[in-house]
């Protein structure tokens, strides 16, 4: 996951080695009782973290197509 100015995003499929696994990891994280998420490359998510993760999962029901580099 990444944090952008408009909220949480799943990693860009172009850079995720296994996008399906990324979604499964978010499902696992969303089952935890957490107050705050810190991201390695910066960003913090606080308040209603579980709700935000579930919303993110709802937006990404289907795996997006990889972005072509040409």
Whole-number pLDDT of residue 31 = 92
All structural domains of the chain with their residue ranges: 2-59
Neighbouring C-alpha atoms within 13 Å toward the C-beta of 49: 18
Identify the band that residue 62 occupies on the pLDDT scale cut at 50, 70 and 90: low
DSSP states along 1-65: -EEETTEEEPPPTTT-S-HHHHHHHHHHHHTS--SEEE-TTS-EEESSHHHHHHHHHHHTSSPPP
The whole-model pTM stands at 0.69
Q: What is the pLDDT of residues 1-32, one digit of tens each?
A: 888 777 788 877 788 888 889 899 999 999 99
Whole-number mean pLDDT of the chain?
Answer: 80
C-alpha of 28 from chain center: 11
């Amino acid at each position: 996951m990444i944090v952008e100015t408009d909220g949480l995003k799943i990693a860009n499929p172009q850079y995720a080695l296994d996008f399906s696994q990324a979604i499964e990891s978010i499902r696992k994280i969303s089952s935890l009782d957490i107050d705050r998420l810190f991201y390695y490359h910066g960003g913090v998510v606080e308040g209603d973290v579980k709700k935000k993760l579930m919303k993110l999962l709802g937006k990404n029901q289907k795996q997006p197509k990889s972005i072509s580099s040409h």
